Structure 1
Amino acid sequence: MAKFSFKYLAKHSAFYFGGDQPAVSWVERLRCVGGAFLGLMLVLTIAKSLGELSGIGEWLMASLGASALLVFALPGSPMAQPWAVIAGNTLSAVIGISCFHVIDEPLLALPMAGALSILGMFILRCLHPPAAAVALIVVLGHIGHYRYALFPVLVDSVLLVLAGAVYSNLTGKLYPNRPPK
């Protein structure tokens, strides 16, 4: 019979408590956090100003923070690349709005919006996990106008990618990235 000590249990259960996460230096953590702060501040300031100029009250895409995590903390990820961020978010907004219009029952519209957005991202090769949330947010928020897919979703996504590209390249990280061949 194997001996189960605390050390043995801690070692074998570490996976369930983040033990599979790579070690990240404090310099890199601060680089990522600083970029996310500056990038989000820039995007939100510009989007709010554009919203005020155009008289549009909706200027924030709620899943922008999740997109910022990918763009600033994982700039090498295929899911953080410009096409994934911009097309994934925009497509998911369109799908969510369509589900909101076509399906009256929220308990059916929500999973349908999420599932169809994932299918659409697979088809267009623009997988971006926060985008699936965009589809759900649209249905939950009763957003029924397709303009929302353009502003704030498309505009916020483009601004975030641009901020990510400038910041990452200024701080020594290449972004966007091409996948290795």
Structure 2
Amino acid sequence: MKYSFSQFLRHLQFYLGGDQPSVSWLERVRAVSGAFIGLILVFVTAKYLGELSGIDEWLMASLGASALLVFALPGSPMAQPWAVIAGNTISALIGISCIHLIDQPLLALPTAASMSILGMFILRCLHPPAAAVSLIVVLGHIGSYRYAIFPVMVDSVLLILAGAVYSNLTGKPYPNSPPR
């Protein structure tokens, strides 16, 4: 069967984002503004808390990916408070444990990511950016379990609070209500 060039382009479009839903500009601006405001609030608060407690580590790099879910997809099960907070925290704990138990980084990295995914399955808190948290911990040689509490858990809680306030003020209910 022969394809015309236009049929080929339509077929190819699927692989170049054609499966993504259309999003209005108003919703794009709402999500982007929320992520900006939310991340600024988290960064300023976490930096202040870090300085107050004398801790230099006050930020986790995967927070931007978590913000995408919380502000752009607030209805997603992977953006709900339990998923964000527990997913990020368990992944940090697993990554730190891998540093202590596995000497080889090439083995510690995939072990940390895969075990964090297993931990999230077990705790029912799947949050894709959390798998990156475990990798960041191993790559950064972060060996202190305190890191799982601050900045990981604290930053996650702050992001959820900012997301809840912003989403509800802009007409997006967050977090989701449990089914009745």
TM range (shorter): over 0.9
In structure 1, the residue matched to 2:174 is 175
In structure 1, the residue matched to 2:79 is 80
In structure 2, the residue matched to 1:95 is 94
1:111 aligns with 2:118: no
In structure 2, the residue matched to 1:137 is 136
In structure 1, the residue matched to 2:126 is 127
Q: CA RMSD in A?
A: 0.9
Measure the CA separation in 2 of the matches of 1:82 and 1:11. Answer: 39
Measure the CA separation in 2 of the matches of 1:16 and 1:165. Answer: 34
Measure the CA separation in 2 of the matches of 1:148 and 1:102. Answer: 17
Measure the CA separation in 2 of the matches of 1:150 and 1:179. Answer: 27
| TM-aligned CA deviation for residue 5 of structure 1 | 1.7
Contact 1:89–1:154, Cα closer than 8 Å, also in 2 = yes
Measure the CA separation in 2 of the matches of 1:115 and 1:178. Answer: 30
| TM-aligned CA deviation for residue 180 of structure 1 | 5.3
Q: TM-score, normalised by structure 1?
A: 0.97
In structure 1, the residue matched to 2:56 is 57
Summarize deviations over 1:13-39 as a string: whole Å, max 9, x none.
211100000000000000000000000
- Bigger mean CA offset, 105-114 vs 7-16: 7-16
User: Secondary structure at 2:18's aligned position in 1?
Assistant: coil
Give unmatched runs, 5+ long, in structure 1.
none
User: Secondary structure at 1:18's aligned position in 2?
Assistant: helix
Measure the CA separation in 1 of the matches of 2:52 and 2:84. Answer: 25
**Structure 1 residue ranges (4+ consecutive) displaced by more than 6 angstroms after TM superposition:** none
Q: TM-score, normalised by structure 2?
A: 0.98
Give unmatched runs, 5+ long, in structure 2.
none
Contact 1:70–1:80, Cα closer than 8 Å, also in 2 = yes
Measure the CA separation in 2 of the matches of 1:141 and 1:81. Answer: 27
Measure the CA separation in 1 of the matches of 2:145 and 2:122. Answer: 21
Measure the CA separation in 1 of the matches of 2:12 and 2:118. Answer: 34
Contact 1:78–1:179, Cα closer than 8 Å, also in 2 = no
1:147 aligns with 2:167: no
Contact 1:113–1:135, Cα closer than 8 Å, also in 2 = yes
1:38 aligns with 2:37: yes
Identical residues among aligned pairs (%): 78
Q: Give the total of aligned pairs.
A: 180
Measure the CA separation in 2 of the matches of 1:24 and 1:75. Answer: 14
